Amino acid sequence: MLAAEWTKVTSLTSTPWVVVGTTGAASALAFGLGLFAGPGDAVTGTSLAASGNLLAQLGVLVLGVLVGSADFATGTSLTTFAAVPRRLPVLAAQVLVTAAVAALTGLAVLAASVLATAGARRGAGVSWDVADPGDLRAATGYVLFLTGAAVCGLALGALLRRPLAALTTGVVLFLLVEQVLAANPGRVTDTVRAFLPGSGTRLFADDTQLAALAGGDGPDLGAWGGGLVLGAWCAVLVLLAGYRLVRRDIT
């Protein structure tokens, strides 16, 4: 099952384009933002390396949505589930394969962004060293966050079965609501923000950014607490997708 889903995902024309496009766009954004960094600015090596997160996040969401909705959008779901009448193993294999592709994409994005921001880090007088425990934790968290975002995209694609509807929902959940609430800080809005999937960005926040978040009116989740929130969203969305897959028609 895993081999079949791996072949299906990697043979999709969109997959290599999304992976290459996400890596190029995110590293280019990080490079561009790094041009504005200078000595004395409130930037760190970690924040510069992860500054292309907005496009990286959008790219893996698209990847997940396309994989999750592909069978339903193309009409091949009938063939897939005729070959594998037990539906949940197909969804589980898609989750594992998408997570693997997203993790590899995250590693590529991170490596390209670190290279693209090398000059900016020298200009700003900050460093980034994967041997440093803080930088290593943030680097690991960056890859985990992108992997989680892709799994959420996959679950939305499988749940809603329409790429545009699933991508719109993902963008609203990960970006739009987060930005609207951030523009109106307060106890209620900060608390709601802490339990949105975007809370997973804490995974790759450095100590300075985490301290700033802890000083807000919302709960202090820390890096791994934010990761648990994102993991919970992944689990709930995958369960909902599995429920619809089992209980409803597959067309």
To the nearest whole percent, how much of the chain has pLDDT over 90?
Answer: 64
Phi-psi region of 40 (alpha: psi -120 to 50; beta: other; left: phi over 0): left
pLDDT averaged per 10 residues, the chain (length 251): 85 90 96 87 88 95 94 82 83 95 97 95 89 92 97 96 95 92 88 93 89 81 94 97 87 67
In this predicted model, what pLDDT tens digit does every residue of 62-88 receive, in sequence order?
999 999 998 888 878 878 877 777 889
Whole-number pLDDT of residue 180 = 92
Residue 115: alpha-carbon gap to chain centroid: 21
Within a 10 A sphere around the Cβ of 222, how many other Cβ atoms? 15
CB contact at 8 A, 102 and 147: yes
- Condensed to tens digits (0 to 9), the pLDDT of residues 25-64 reads 999 999 999 998 877 777 888 999 999 999 999 999 999 9
SS3 content of the chain, % helix, strand, coil (to 5): 80, 0, 20
Q: Could you give the CA distance from residue 223 to residue 35 in angstroms, rounded to a whole number?
A: 28
Distance (Å, whole) CA 182 – CA 249: 40
